[in-house]
Amino acid sequence: MDGSLITTASTIITQGMVPKFPLFYLVVGEYATIDNFHPSPEANTAAAIDDAAFMTGMERNSDIVIMACYAPLFGHLDNLVWKPDGIYYNGVQSYATPAWWVQHLFSVIRGDTYIPTDSDANEGRPTEKIFHVASRKSDTNTLILRIVNTNTEDIMIDTVSLAGISSTQGGTITVLNGAQWDQNDLQEPLRVSPRSQAFEVTSNSFSYNAPAFSLTIIEIQL
């Protein structure tokens, strides 16, 4: 089965949990989020983070969703025929949108074995705001935890517990976030772009404050 999904934030969030189709494999042929056309339908931070929430659902169901593609990828600034796009360019310059950075991070930081996760972070909230998925990279014995906050405010996760693990060797934490309507442009191509730093927690539990409109990827060396 192949499908396309170019839609608004509320729709792509509700599609975040991709349904199971036992008789089929699913290819999401193209998808993107348009966030309220404000200030324009280029891929802003909020749209990109909604994409990330949707992608956690695809990763969680990766036994069924075997391929996916963000689209359109390129848009010429002097001849735009569709918005949003992943990368904008003119004759001499280019810049990646926040949505492209989401695609990049999911692509280059990924495991090969799905690890089930559970959370009560959304209790008391009318709609889901925190999305999560985990995997393990076998050749380096690394746990990869993705946390997506689609809310307008930071959300404190009091305890992240690594069941069955007594201690870790720390690792790396990468965060992509920005103001809700922030966009990259030719003048500030890295306004919204990921930042990485050492993750120094070595215990089997920790707290984390997920910034508003953020994708966090924690790589934990086991």
Instruction: Give the tens place of pLDDT for each residue, 193-206.
Output: 999 999 999 999 99
Ordered strands of the 2-8 beta sheet: 2-8, 26-34, 65-70
Nearest to 188 by CA among 178, 198, 180, 197: 178
d(CA 210, CA 203): 19
- For residue 129 the two structure tokens come to 């705001």
Please tell me what DSSP assigns to residue 19: P
* H-only helix segments in the chain: 9-14, 45-60, 98-108
Mean pLDDT of 158-178: 95
The answer to whether residue 19 scores a pLDDT higher than 50 is no
Provide the percentage of residues in the chain whose pLDDT is more than 70. Answer: 86
Please tell me what DSSP assigns to residue 121: T
| pLDDT-based confidence at residue 7 (cuts at 50, 70, 90) | low
In contact, 109 and 176? CB cutoff 8 Å? no
d(CA 176, CA 184): 13
The predicted-structure confidence for 30-74, as pLDDT tens digits, reads as follows: 888 887 655 566 689 999 999 999 999 999 999 888 889 998 899
Contacts of 18 (CB under 8 A, 6+ apart): 26, 57, 58, 60, 61, 64, 65
Residue 84 has what pLDDT?
87
In contact, 11 and 36? CB cutoff 8 Å? no
DSSP 3-state of 47: helix
Residue 38 has what pLDDT?
55
- For residue 90 the two structure tokens come to 């003119």
Provide the percentage of residues in the chain whose pLDDT is more than 90. Answer: 67
Side-chain half-sphere of 162: how many Cα atoms within 13 Å?
25
Higher pLDDT, 21 or 189: 189
Q: pTM for the whole thing?
A: 0.89
Residue 209 has what pLDDT?
96
Please provide the DSSP assignment of 59-82 as one string: HHTTTTEEEEEES--EEETTS--S
Mean pLDDT of 103-108: 97
Residue 11 has what pLDDT?
54
Domains and CATH numbers, the chain: 2-108 (no CATH), 113-221 (2.60.40.1180)
The predicted-structure confidence for 136-154, as pLDDT tens digits, reads as follows: 999 999 999 999 999 999 9
Cα–Cα distance list, 101 to 60, 95, 168, 189 (Å): 20, 11, 28, 11
Residue 71 has what pLDDT?
84
How does the average pLDDT of the chain come out, rounded?
A: 87
Q: Terminal CA-to-CA distance of the chain, rounded, Å?
A: 37
